[in-house]
Structure formats: structure tokens, C-alpha cells
Amino acid sequence: MFGFLLVLSVLSLVDPVPPPVPCRQCCDDLEPAEGSGAQPVMGGFSRAPEIRTYINMTILKGDKGDRGDRGTPGKPGHEGPPGARGPAGSKGSKGQAGLPGDPCKVHDSAFSVGRRKSLHSLESYQALLFDTVFVNLDEHFDMFTGKFLCHIPGVYFFNVNIHTWNFKETYLHIMQNDTERAIVYAQPSDRSIMQSQSLMLQLELSDEVWVRLYKRERENAIYSDDVDVYITFNGYLIKASVEGRDADGSSDLTLDEKGIH
Ligand SMILES: *[C@@H]1O[C@H](CO)[C@@H](O)[C@H](O)[C@H]1NC(C)=O
Ligand SMILES: *[C@@H]1O[C@H](CO)[C@@H](O)[C@H](O)[C@H]1NC(C)=O
């Protein structure tokens, strides 16, 4: 910087119109020394402060420093809103086969239900419903639909007992699913009588057995009353198709073993 000021002083000497230099006496010690740049009366030096603004400080800069240590991490931000539901995953693989069933397991299925109300035929077929339960093992008989659902494949015995209505026909079928298997029939008569029908059926899993009343085209009815139960429907398993394991080692599961009731 000092060299810079010397250059400036040379420039001021070649100034074509130098300001008048005031008289000096050798005893004027109180004047500031040349080059201080702070004395406004000193001709060319009076312009030094505004010259200084042109100093390019870039040349005084040192080398770039070393990179600092990494700062401590900031606090985690607020949790964002939940994203949209993703697409459904693929179906899982089939599970392993269960343990073999107990070969000594005893299969039971039996029901006995009754009805205390009379019933007349409607425009369409209707299931005979029951309101009284005598026996219903494991609820295999559905009181809401009036149908026995086969949980254990095998040979079953079924029986229906009704009381006829005098001067009206009696026209019922014992059904296996939608197939008529046996009829309970009586012609109109002035005497009402008890009638019954029985049969055995080979049932498969989920087969339904129920009693169906015929349509109005053959006006028919069955009788019962609040005092006595005239109408009953009964059924029970005689022999299950599968007792434990088959000869080939496989095990046919019953509905019970599948957990369906
Ligand atoms: C200052 O000096 C640097 C390095 O010599 C140069 O690159 C820059 O242009 C100068 N700046 C000015 C304003 O003259
Ligand atoms: C009877 O119906 C059930 C249920 O719809 C069905 O699983 C079963 O296979 C049917 N049985 C016959 C013999 O059609």
C-alpha cells in the first residue's frame, strides 16, 4: 500500500495545475510529516482518501481455507400426511395339508324338530318350518330355513309325521336339495288322520334335506295346534362315508372338521 501512495505522489507532481504551495519555515515542526495523507492543506495529498477506494482488495486475500467440520444434524421435520393406499398384493401360496384325522373319531349327526302351527299351501312351493326343537346336535338342522345340512357324508335315516286336515289334501315331499325323494300323501277326507313317511338317503357334503309343501293348485294343508305337536321331522346319521382315513391314506374332511357349522 505504501508503494501505491508513492505512485500517487509522483502523479500529483506532474499535475499540470498544482495548487500553490504555502510558505514554510524551518521551524514549522508542528506540520505533520509528508505522506501521512491526513493533512488537507498538503496539495496533492488532499486527494488520497478518495483514491483509496480503488484499492483492489482481492490481491490481499489469502488462500482458501480448509473445509470445516460437518455440523450436527438438524431436528427431524414434521411427519407428512399418510400416502395413498398401495395396490393389492398377490395371493399367498397354498398352506400345508393338516394333520391326519383321528381314525377313532365318532361322527354323530341327529335332529328331531316339531311344529305347533297348522300350515296351508300358498301360490308357490314352501319349506315346512318348525318351531320346536327336541334334538339338534351341533345345529346341523337350520331352524330358519327348515333344512338339514349334511356336515358328515354318509347314510342317513329321515322320518316325517303329520296330521291331515279334514276335507283337504295332504301333499308333502321329502327333498334332497331340489329333488323330491319321497311323498307324504293323503286324499281329502272327512276324517283327519296321522300320516308318516320314512326313508334312508346317501348324503354328500352340503346336501340339504327338507320337507316341502305343495302349491295351491292342489289346495292342501297340514294340521297342528298349540296344545300338541302333531308335526315332527327327524333324521340321524346311520353310517358315515369316511371313518377316519381312506385306504389310499387321504382323509376326506367333514364340514365339522373344516370348522363350518
Ligand atoms: C481485482 O484483482 C483480481 C485479481 O487480480 C482481478 O481478477 C479482478 O478483476 C480485480 N477487480 C477489479 C474490480 O479490478
Ligand atoms: C346340494 O346342494 C349343495 C349346496 O348347493 C351342493 O353343495 C351339493 O353338491 C348339492 N348336492 C347334490 C347331490 O346336488
What is the whole-number distance in angstroms between the Cα of residue 8 and the centre of ligand 1?
20
Quick one: which H or E segment has residue 160? strand 154-164
Helix (H, G, I), strand (E, B) or coil at 3: helix
- In this prediction, residue 43 has a pLDDT band, given cuts at 50, 70 and 90, of very low
* Residue nearest (by alpha carbon) to ligand 1 atom 11: 56
**Which phi and psi (to 5°) does residue 48 adopt?**
-60, -45
Domain 110-240 has CATH 2.60.120.40: yes
Pocket test for ligand 1, best of 55, 58, 63 (most atoms within 8 A of CB): 58
Q: How far is CA 39 from CA 35, 45, 49, 250, in A?
A: 9, 7, 11, 119
pLDDT number for residue 226: 87
Cell 340321524: give the residue.
236
Neighbours of 58 (CB within 10 A): 6
Cα(154) to centroid of ligand 2, in Å?
14
- With the C-alpha atoms ordered 172, 177, 147, 256, is the resulting torsion angle positive or negative? positive
Question: Would the pLDDT of 72 be above 50?
Answer: yes
CB of 56 closer than 6 A to ligand 1? yes
Q: Which residue is closest in CA terms to ligand 1's atom 6?
A: 58
Question: What integer is the mean pLDDT of 57-74?
Answer: 81
pLDDT at 7: 46
Domain boundaries, the chain: 2-60, 110-240
Ligand nearest to the CA of 56: 1
CA dihedral 38→40→42→47, nearest 10 degrees, is 80
Residue with cell 277326507: 189
**What pLDDT shows up at residue 218?**
79
Which ligand 1 atom is the nearest neighbour of the CA of 57? 1
Ligand 1 centroid – CA 59 distance (Å)? 8
Q: Is the pLDDT of residue 229 over 50?
A: yes
pLDDT in the model for residue 256: 56
Better-predicted residue by pLDDT, 41 or 21: 21
Write out residues with Cβ below 6 Å of ligand 2.
177, 204, 206-208
pLDDT of residue 157: 98
pLDDT band per the 50, 70, 90 thresholds, residue 248: very low
Question: Is the distance from the beta carbon of residue 53 to the nearest atom of ligand 1 less than 6 Å?
Answer: no
* pLDDT at position 133: 97
Q: Which atom of ligand 2 is nearest to the CA of 207?
A: 1
Contact 231, 197 (CB under 8 A): no
Q: How far is the CA of 127 from the centre of ligand 2 (A)?
A: 17
Pairing label, strands 208-213, 179-186: unpaired
Q: What pLDDT is recorded for position 211? A: 96
Mode of pairing for the β-strands spanning 119-120 and 221-223: antiparallel
Residue 100: per-residue pLDDT = 76
Instruction: Between 250 and 179, name the one with better pLDDT.
Output: 179
**Residue 242 Cα to ligand 1 middle (Å):** 102
- 59 touches ligand 1 (CB under 6 Å): yes
